Amino acid sequence: MKLIIGIIPIVLSCIFLLFAAHPKVRVFLDICAYLSLYILGTIIAFHVYDVVLHNLVFMTTIHGILLNPLFLITGAYVGVYSLYLLIYKVKL
């Protein structure tokens, strides 16, 4: 299972690289990355604000953000997109 978790981002970033041969697909991937970063930042800001507002600054409270599925999905996309960018820049 750990091997699969380690290999999937590399495989997905290579698939991104294959799809990015078309300029419109590259723009779509860039827009998705921008939206994912925006959503990720907004979720983090709201969660930190809520923790500080209720004066619950404990390690377990702040890590509750990891239970948010939207946070996990957008974070995973940003991670795969970052690997894709690294491969894309090295390829050029």
The per-residue pLDDT for 65 is 85
* pLDDT value at residue 42: 96
pLDDT at 54: 86
Per residue of the chain (92 residues), give pLDDT as tens.
Answer: 788 888 888 888 888 888 888 889 889 999 999 999 999 999 999 998 988 888 887 767 778 888 899 999 999 999 999 988 988 888 65
In terms of residue numbers, what domain contains 10? 2-91
SS3 string of the chain? CHHHHHHHHHHHHHHHHHHCCCHHHHHHHHHHHHHHHHHHHHHHHHHHHHHHHCCCCCHHHHHHHHHCHHHHHHHHHHHHHHHHHHHHHHHC
Would you say the pTM of this structure is higher than 0.95? no
pLDDT of residue 17: 85
Number of domains forming the structure of the chain: 1
